């Protein structure tokens, strides 16, 4: 993974977003599918019933379109950017810390929303979101969104932790043991934003306004906090299933996580729960984006329309523990999700979440900020103990 992080650093330099990328000409009509579709996706995003038979939204698409779906999973946004730079893929489910890099790097093309009938069902808060829309041009269709939650072991905590301090500062937990060696942190440079978000609440004199837009002083303070955290961390995680195993078998009791891991562990009756502490949380809003040189554009458009069906969005919301991009999926009864489930997954927490985005040198809040390539190299140093 660290190789991939380095390989993306140069690409990150171009992420100044001066304007929309010049890409392939948009389709004006969706024709017959080409027969296959190659997608880069986060683990658990594209299910065909192989993990749990009830969760399958790939098979129905394949039967309806004749497009065979080939899935390449990626565990980090940097890995996704590297794969899209290599080419050979039609679509990617990109989070905000990858999507703007892909646009600036001309790796993805604008989409013609007129060819996606279900576009009008998308959450209004997402339609023109800045992580996939540049100067009014859409570069994808929203997929789902959610917070990076604090997952914790209920045997180690009598009640939900009120602060992210349990993973940043050494302390004795409710079970009488130190948190040292029993917590994890995310194995990706975007985790710098989690430290900045913590300082934004507790060290207001720093003046942090946006955890992705940091001047030199704010950035140094965030790195110092991460170096402090390094002394507590047993593992930097990026594989959701390895984190699940660590909570079950390796004594890990607290970590930033995704609702996906929480749901699977709870389903196995493991003593885990999750919370969004007082400082709020970072989060992700993911977009299905089409490669600038996609070889299967018709299958791609058919897939983007398929993903916005409320029954798929509903089941996806239950499976991943996230909030659907189509609000009707919470209430129309076409899938497994309901209003209470969407609320539990964070439907009402949109304003509390600081969504991932790529740090750039020319930032809105204060003019000049530390760009992402610095985050990449410095976070490698933090993990290495430097």
Residues 304 and 30: their CA atoms lie apart, in Å, by 12
Find the mean pLDDT for residues 282-287: 94
CA angle 228, 234, 239 (to 5 degrees): 115
Residue 14 has pLDDT above 90, yes or no: no
Exposed/middle/buried for residue 141 (C-beta within 10 Å: 0-12, 13-18, 19+)? buried
Number of other CB atoms surrounding residue 215 within 10 Å: 17
Per the CB < 8 A criterion, the answer to whether 186 and 236 are in contact is yes
Q: Parallel, antiparallel, or unpaired for β 149-153 and 254-257?
A: antiparallel
Domains of the chain (ranges, CATH numbers): 2-146+284-348 (3.40.190.10), 148-282+359-383 (3.40.190.10)
**Confidence band, pLDDT 50/70/90 cuts, at residue 140:** very high
| 358 or 256, which is more confident | 256
Question: What's the pLDDT score for residue 16?
Answer: 39
Question: Quick one: what percent of the chain has pLDDT higher than 70?
Answer: 94
**Confidence band, pLDDT 50/70/90 cuts, at residue 385:** confident
Find the mean pLDDT for residues 319-345: 94
Task: Note if the pTM is more than 0.95.
Answer: no
Question: What's the pLDDT score for residue 7?
Answer: 38
Question: What's the pLDDT score for residue 25?
Answer: 73
Residue 22 has pLDDT above 60, yes or no: no
End-to-end Cα distance, the chain: 18
Whole-number average pLDDT of the chain: 91
Question: Quick one: what percent of the chain has pLDDT higher than 90?
Answer: 80
Find the mean pLDDT for residues 356-382: 91
Question: What's the pLDDT score for residue 24?
Answer: 57
Q: What is the pLDDT of residues 38-96, one digit of tens each?
A: 999 998 899 999 989 999 999 999 999 999 999 999 988 999 999 999 999 999 999 98
Closest CA to 123 of 355, 313, 375: 313
- The region of weakest confidence among 235-239, 249-253, 302-306, 362-366 is 362-366
Residues 362 and 369: their CA atoms lie apart, in Å, by 6
Question: What's the pLDDT score for residue 76?
Answer: 87
Per the CB < 8 A criterion, the answer to whether 291 and 89 are in contact is yes
Question: What's the pLDDT score for residue 75?
Answer: 87
Residue 336 has pLDDT above 60, yes or no: yes
């Amino acid at each position: 993974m660290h190789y991939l992080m380095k390989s993306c650093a140069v690409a990150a330099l171009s992420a100044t977003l001066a304007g929309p990328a010049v890409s392939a000409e948009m389709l004006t009509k969706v024709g017959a599918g080409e027969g296959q579709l190659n997608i880069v996706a986060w683990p658990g995003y594209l299910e065909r019933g192989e993990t749990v038979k009830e969760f399958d939204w790939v098979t129905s698409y394949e039967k309806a379109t004749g497009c065979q779906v080939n899935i390449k999973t990626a565990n980090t946004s940097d890995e996704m950017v590297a794969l899209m730079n290599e080419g050979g893929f039609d679509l990617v489910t990109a989070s905000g810390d990858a999507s703007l890099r892909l646009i600036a790097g001309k790796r993805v093309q604008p989409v013609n929303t007129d060819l996606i009938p279900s576009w009008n069902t998308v959450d209004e808060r997402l339609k023109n979101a800045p992580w996939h829309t540049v100067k009014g041009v859409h570069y994808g269709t929203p997929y789902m969104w959610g917070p990076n939650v604090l997952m914790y072991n209920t045997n180690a905590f009598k009640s939900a932790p009120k602060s992210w301090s349990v993973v940043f500062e050494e302390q004795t937990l409710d079970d009488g043991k130190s948190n040292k060696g029993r917590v994890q942190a995310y194995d990706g440079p975007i985790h710098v934003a989690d430290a900045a978000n913590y300082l934004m609440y507790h060290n207001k004199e720093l003046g942090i306004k946006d955890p992705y837009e940091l001047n030199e002083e704010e950035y140094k303070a965030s790195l110092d906090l991460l170096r402090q955290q390094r002394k507590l961390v047993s593992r930097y995680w990026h594989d959701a299933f390895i984190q699940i195993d660590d909570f079950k078998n390796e004594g890990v009791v607290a970590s930033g996580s995704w609702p996906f891991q929480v749901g699977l562990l709870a389903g196995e009756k493991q003593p885990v729960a999750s919370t969004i502490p007082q400082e709020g949380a970072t989060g992700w809003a993911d977009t299905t984006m089409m490669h600038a040189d996609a070889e299967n554009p018709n299958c791609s458009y058919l897939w983007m329309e398929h993903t916005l069906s409320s029954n798929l969005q509903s089941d996806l919301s239950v499976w991943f523990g996230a909030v659907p991009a189509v609000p009707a999926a919470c209430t129309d009864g076409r899938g497994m999700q309901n209003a209470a489930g969407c609320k539990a997954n964070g439907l009402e927490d949109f304003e509390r979440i600081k969504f991932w985005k790529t740090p750039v040198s020319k930032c809105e809040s204060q003019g000049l900020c530390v760009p992402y390539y610095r985050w990449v190299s410095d976070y490698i140093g933090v993990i290495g103990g430097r």
